[in-house]
Amino acid sequence: MRITIIGTGYVGLVTGTCLAHIGHSVIGVNRHPQKSSQLNQGKIPIYEPGLERILAGARRNGKIRFTTDLGQAVQSSDIVIIAVGTPSRRDGSADLQQVRQVAVQIGQALRKYAVIINKSTVPVGTARIVGALVKKHFRGKFDVVSCPEFLREGSAVRDFLRPDRIIIGSESSRATQAVLQVFRNIPGKKVITNIETAEMIKYASNAFLATKISFINEIANVCDRVGADVEQVALGMGLDPRIGQAFLRAGMGYGGSCFPKDVRALNTIAGTKGYNFRLLKSVIEVNNRQKNILLKKVKKNLKNIRGKKIAVLGLAFKGNTDDIRESAAIDIVRLLQSAGAQISVYDPAAMPNARAVLDGTVKYANNSYQAVVKTDAVIIASEWEQFKKLDWSRLRQSMRGNLIVDGKNLLNRSILERLGFRYVAMGK
């Protein structure tokens, strides 16, 4: 099928590339000429394992190209996918400016029937707004479908190609059939709902996962007080299939471009409809507090943070990505700096992004070994697998102190204690 995807951020680029990979003819639209031309050369602006390789294959087969010309792309497509950003506004609601703008542009460009699929995470009711905006400019027949995306950064390609489910919020059988064609080679249960339900499934899923994380973080904080081990608690709980093992890793709180924004947005959506979503308010509060709990652990163990040298390993909001949006690691660096610590950092992928937001006094190391030299403490702030495999005895020798505060419960206590470290984790 001929598909246009508007927006080439994480979701748009992965979706477009994967659709080209499974044989569709895809045009990716990006407003910035420079970004489009780099993508046309196969250069991707994000770190996402496996993406560059399948983009290269799709380009070789002539299945994907990028342009700034939204109008021409829309006119030559049967399917138009909206995958633009919906950042948080100050009040927590989703900013729909880009979605609205794109809807108008699609309406102005359309000449024949097309299915418009919305993949951006948008408040319930947005697909109808998109439909109304398109209709203002195009009098012909078209359909709007909501098809939320569930991919995770770091495993986005696999998540897209092997999803657990594909949600299709559609009220036209012609559009539903077209969308089923788009995903015909992709496994996973196809769930067909009305548009509002599809939009809600996305928010409810992210909010539930965030709730699981805040719940286990609360349990971790109690574990700290009673001498229990949250990892074993999570294991013991998760073996009950009604609970499940996933998303029960305690730590310094969730971050990223999705959970914080979507939980706030759902809370706002409920509020504007006169419903006080108490549980979500607590989820947000617990998540914000978690970084301070980590900071308290550092303070307690170092006595005084002022003048101490501290290495922060990991800056991304989680491992396997270069994304630092709402990263708890970045917040921790700032909190430690304002408490008077000197900070050195290392992250395998996120340092260029971090440089753009952190102040100039942070020292950027070339690797973890360099980051810890003469430091009093190390903080693990993203779950990169490579931190587990470090030669920790070598790190111990080059440090001035011996404290590790593991904000992601990534490392093994008994190994580290044998090497002479003081190991402090979250709830263990």
Active site residues: 258
Which CB sits closer to ligand UGA, 160 or 421?
160
Nearer to ligand UGA, 73 or 216 (CB): 216
Q: Which of residues 207-226 bind ligand UGA (CB under 6 A)?
A: 209, 213
Stretch that binds ligand UGA, among 36-44, 55-63, 242-250, 275-283 (CB under 6 A): 242-250
Give the phi and the psi of residue 395 in degrees, each rounded to 5.
Answer: -60, -45
- Single residue of 17, 30, 36, 206 touching ligand UGA by CB under 6 A: 206
For the stretch 128-133, contacts whose Cβ atoms lie closer than 8 Å and that sit 24 or more positions apart, written own/partner, are 128/195, 129/96, 129/99, 129/100, 129/103, 130/82, 130/99, 130/100, 130/103, 133/100, 133/103, 133/104, 133/107
Interaction pattern, residues 253-292, with ligand UGA; x per rule: CB under 6 A = -xxx-xx---------------------------------
Site for ligand UGA in 108-127 (CB under 6 A): 121
Instruction: By CB under 6 A, name the one of 48, 143, 153, 218 that touches ligand UGA.
Output: 153
Q: For the CB of residue 57, give the shortest distance to ligand UGA in the complex, in Å.
A: 24
* Crossing angle between the packed helical segments 278-302 and 328-338, to the nearest 10 degrees: 50
Measured in whole angstroms, the distance separating CA 186 from the mean position of its chain's CA atoms is: 22
Q: Who's near 115: CB < 8 A, 6+ residues apart?
A: 78, 79, 80, 142, 143, 144, 145, 174, 175, 178, 179
Instruction: Considering the complex, state which of residue 44 and residue 209 has its C-beta at the smaller distance from ligand UGA.
Output: 209
Dist. CA 216–CA 243, nearest whole Å: 12
Q: Of 81-89, 222-230, 245-253, 392-400, which segment contacts ligand UGA by CB under 6 A?
A: 245-253
Q: How many residues bind ligand UGA (CB under 6 A)?
A: 21
- Cα gap 387→408, rounded to integer Å: 11
Applying CB under 6 A, among 66, 203, 215, 317 the residue interacting with ligand UGA is 317
Smallest distance, ligand UGA to C-beta of residue 168, A = 16
Does residue 247 belong to the site contacting ligand UGA (CB under 6 A)? yes
Query: Is 163 an interacting residue with respect to ligand UGA (CB under 6 A)?
Result: no
Alpha-carbon span 295 to 343, nearest angstrom: 14
Amino acid at 338: S
Give φ, ψ of 389 to 5 degrees.
Answer: -95, 5
* Contact between 350 and 330 (Cβ < 8 Å): no
Helical H segments across 308-365, by residue range:
328-338, 351-355
By CB under 6 A, residue 249 contacts ligand UGA: yes
Which residues contribute to the site for ligand UGA (CB under 6 A)? 121, 149-153, 206, 209, 213, 247-249, 251, 254-256, 258-259, 317-318, 383
